Chain A
């Protein structure tokens, strides 16, 4: 069935280091992927997205990589800051499911000062 999953439920990094959060998906028809950040007590917040015709997209301090061959998605955060501590979700979408996204279970990122 369709699922989006993350490799590790938790990740702890030192402030200033780079963070890499991984996600595996199983629906080969997925053509749009989004990373969200959710802070405690808040709703998920959009970080960055990527379409299936791309393999890399960069934002401010964040980069998303897509490997369709192995159905793998990653989020790289450069120079991780304490404010980056949150739960990160990957979500996938297909044109046939244009009205909804399927979310993975999340990786909790903790940034140590």
Chain B
């Protein structure tokens, strides 16, 4: 399977713990995006990378959230000191530069107890 893959698919954690999600994009795509989706809502943009450069971050992204793409391939999204309001599906997508068409992974569902 050469699509976008995300790990883990599900994560249950206690409030205050740190969690990290990983995304492996389609190999020839140089853009990588993180979105958050809550039940009944459309995906909300969090941040995106072009190669290893993080080009934009949403105002939704508090300082507890950090994303990296160190070698311009896979990316990680870390949430520190999780809160119950962080419970959501975290979606990763990739695209070719210049194309708005996004290829999404299956998502990582976070539940904060």
Chain A residues within CB distance 8 Å of chain B: 4, 9, 32, 34, 36, 41-46, 49, 89, 91, 93, 98-106
Find out whether the CB atom of B98 lies under 8 angstroms from the CB atom of A98.
yes
Closest to B105 in A: A43
Closest to A103 in B: B42
Query: How many residues from B make CB contacts under 8 Å with A?
Result: 24
- CB of B79 within 8 Å of the partner chain: no
Give the residues in chain B near A43, CB-CB below 8 Å. 4, 91, 93, 104-107
Give the residues in chain A near B33, CB-CB below 8 Å. 99-100
Binary flags per residue of B89-104, CB closer than 8 Å to A gives 1, else 0: 0010100001011111
Give the residues in chain B near A46, CB-CB below 8 Å. 101-103
- CB of B31 within 8 Å of the partner chain: yes
Binary flags per residue of B33-53, CB closer than 8 Å to A gives 1, else 0: 100000011111100101000
Q: How far is the CB of B16 from chain A (nearest CB, A)?
A: 28
Give Cα A46 to B44, complex, Å. Answer: 16
Closest to A49 in B: B101
